[in-house]
Amino acid sequence: MDNGFDSPKPTPRITLSSELQNITSTTDPSITLSSQDLLGPKELGDERKRFWNMLALLIPMTGYQSPEHRTVQVLDIACGKCREGFVLSTYFGGNRFGNPSPNVLVSGIDINPDDINTANENNSSYDIDRKTRVPMFNYQFINGDATNLDQYPQLPQTADVFVIRHQQISSNEVTWTTIFQQAIDRLGENGIGIITSFSDVEHDMLIGKLEQLHCEVVMNKPNPHAEPTETQGVSVDRHIAIVKKGSLASGILI
């Protein structure tokens, strides 16, 4: 059956994100949602589905396996609003779509405090009794500078997965090169780093830079699940590169 997913795992199903389920299942009359209110969550849901499909299609090709008997550490660098947090928790926890895992810790860092506030909100759950959103134990978001991760002892020293979604090397090459190297330095022996770009030019710049850093670029692909934007040549997660810790020389590309 074609359910719209490329999945290597138990058949996932399309569900409302868990926070939306909580909100819509309440009978509290003070909480009413108009179709306009639902537009944001629907767009977020669609974006999450595409991000899931990208991971489900491409990550198995890298041979990556999440560790089974300890917390999986996912480091989301320059995470912005971290719209992908639930998907990262779900996918790398080996769960079905829509079911974030308590066995995954997603740690996000971004220099923009407003984005970090939104990241906290995007990755929280709704407490019906307290009528407010509450943080979840398996996500943490830090307002900080990713060019020097050592400043933030809360971040894992070793990451199983790092994500840099929509890197922006064209805005400041020195800053972003430092961010890439900091991320690579945190990768564990069997870890992978996922980096996506909005545009062809930005991605070419990324690949050129990665080839000079201490990592192995194991995948470099256009993303079949990228979402076009109104700007020609710009898509959400247009290209993806996957790196492993390694030497200067890149290996065979998938």
Ligand X SMILES: C[S@@+](CC[C@H](N)C(=O)[O-])C[C@H]1O[C@@H](n2cnc3c(N)ncnc32)[C@H](O)[C@@H]1O
Residues that bind ligand X (CB under 6 A): 78-81, 109-112, 115, 145-147, 165-166, 168, 175
Compute the least distance from the CB of residue 213 to ligand X, in Å: 17
| Phi, psi (rounded to 5 degrees) for 181 | -65, -40
> Residue 116, Cα to own-chain centre: how many angstroms?
14
Shortest Cβ 25–ligand X spacing (Å): 29
Closest to ligand X by CB, 62 vs 170, is 170
Minimum distance from residue 78 beta carbon to ligand X (Å): 3
Decide whether 164 or 187 has the Cβ nearer to ligand X.
Answer: 164
Cα–Cα nearest to 18, from 74, 96, 93, 92: 96
Minimal CB distance residue for ligand X = 80
In three-state secondary structure terms, 127 is: strand
- The residue whose two tokens read 């990665």 is 210
Minimum CB separation of residue 48 from ligand X in Å reads 12
Distance, in Å, from the CA atom of 191 to the CA atom of 57, rounded to the nearest integer, reads: 18
Token code pair at residue 13: 């199903």
Nearer to ligand X, 119 or 217 (CB): 119
CB nearer ligand X, residue 23 or residue 238: 238
**Shortest Cβ distance from residue 166 to ligand X (Å)?**
4
Residues 86, 104 contacting (CB under 8 angstroms): no
Given the complex with ligand X, which of 165 and 239 has the nearer CB atom? 165
In angstroms, the CA 155 to CA 111 distance is 15
